[in-house]
Structure 1
Amino acid sequence: MAEEIKVIVFGLAHEEYGIEVDKVRTIERMMPITRVPKTLAFIKGVINLRGVVLPVIDLRGRFGLPESDATDSSRIIIVAVNDLEVGFIVDSANDVIDINTDSIELPPEVVGGIKAKYLRGVAKIGGSRLLIMLNLSEVLNKNEIIQLEEQEV
């Protein structure tokens, strides 16, 4: 039985991505980010959000996409996965839509340069629009991030 899920749509390097609304805590405008020494380049630092210090990851850097400067439409999407709250820097956060789970297909091996393991699938919306659904537990895979940090040292 197909079900509908609510998804936040955000932009990153001319593609549209989706994260399930139930994993999103809040969407914030860009704010000062405090750099943390000896972290990976895509870990931009930490922010103080209403008294809670959260790490901030640049999704472009996480996926190996070219970095870009923040603009007025840049946002930090605060997500929660497996007891971990993290902010993702994205180019824009566009809207909230309902997606039928039947419309989500398995991702090809690479989409826009991003490895399939970071993707839950690709949703077809309205015939011509494709929405790349993130697999947040892989994007935030602690073991992989630790391995990457060890390689950079």
Structure 2
Amino acid sequence: MAEMSKYIIFELNSERFAINIQQVRSIEKLPELTTMPQMPESMKGIFELRGAITPVIDLKEKLEMGQANNDEETRILILTIDEKPLGVIVDKATEVVDIDESTIEAPPEMVAGVDREYITGVAKSGEQLIVILDLDRILYYEEYNVS
């Protein structure tokens, strides 16, 4: 029997990426962010979400893919990293899909300009490839800790 997992599909520079839905607390519109002195370059600021101070990073900048858009479709994925909230800005969050784990292939050396070490695998959805990111490798909470 196929082992299906749910993934959130989002876009960076019109490329489709996915992360396991279990890592995502919520999807929010981009709020007004408060900047902090001496923040890492990819950190865009902090905001309060349901009583928790949440650092926000630009995932495109972190992956060296340019800078996030700031338009009607821009979203923040609120993740849990090291049991704390962390927001990542994406160009667009498009859908939740079921992916058969057995269809996920090992990543090539580089996909969509993203280094292999940050990729869990590549899945096919119809004719499109979806790059599944390994957020634990990309994000370290300590780097963005503001408390």
Q: Gapped runs of 5+ residues in structure 1?
A: 147-153
Q: Is the 8 A contact 2:9 2:93 kept in 1?
A: yes
Separation in 1 of the partners of 2:80 and 2:68? 25
Could you tell me which residue of structure 1 aligns to residue 130 of structure 2? Answer: 131
Query: How far apart are residue 141 of structure 1 and its match?
Result: 3.2
Equivalence map 1:4-153=2 (5 Å):
4-126=4-126, 128-141=127-140, 145=143
Residue aligned with 1:105, SS? coil
Separation in 2 of the partners of 1:109 and 1:39? 30
Q: Is the 8 A contact 1:103 1:125 kept in 2?
A: no
Residue aligned with 1:18, SS? strand
Which amino acid is the alignment partner of residue 82 of structure 1? D
Separation in 2 of the partners of 1:81 and 1:103? 26
Query: How far apart are residue 139 of structure 1 and its match?
Result: 1.1
Q: Is the 8 A contact 2:44 2:58 kept in 1?
A: yes
Q: Gapped runs of 5+ residues in structure 2?
A: none
TM-score (norm 2): 0.91
Separation in 2 of the partners of 1:7 and 1:68? 21
Post-superposition CA distance 1:88-141 (Å, at most 9, x none): 100000011100001111111111211111111111122x11111010110113
Query: How far apart are residue 142 of structure 1 and its match?
Result: 5.2
The structure in which a higher percent of residues are helix is 1
Query: Considering only aligned residues, what root-mean-square deviation do their CA atoms show, in Å?
Result: 1.6
Report the number of matched residues: 144
Which amino acid is the alignment partner of residue 25 of structure 1? R
Query: How far apart are residue 2 of structure 1 and its match?
Result: 3.8
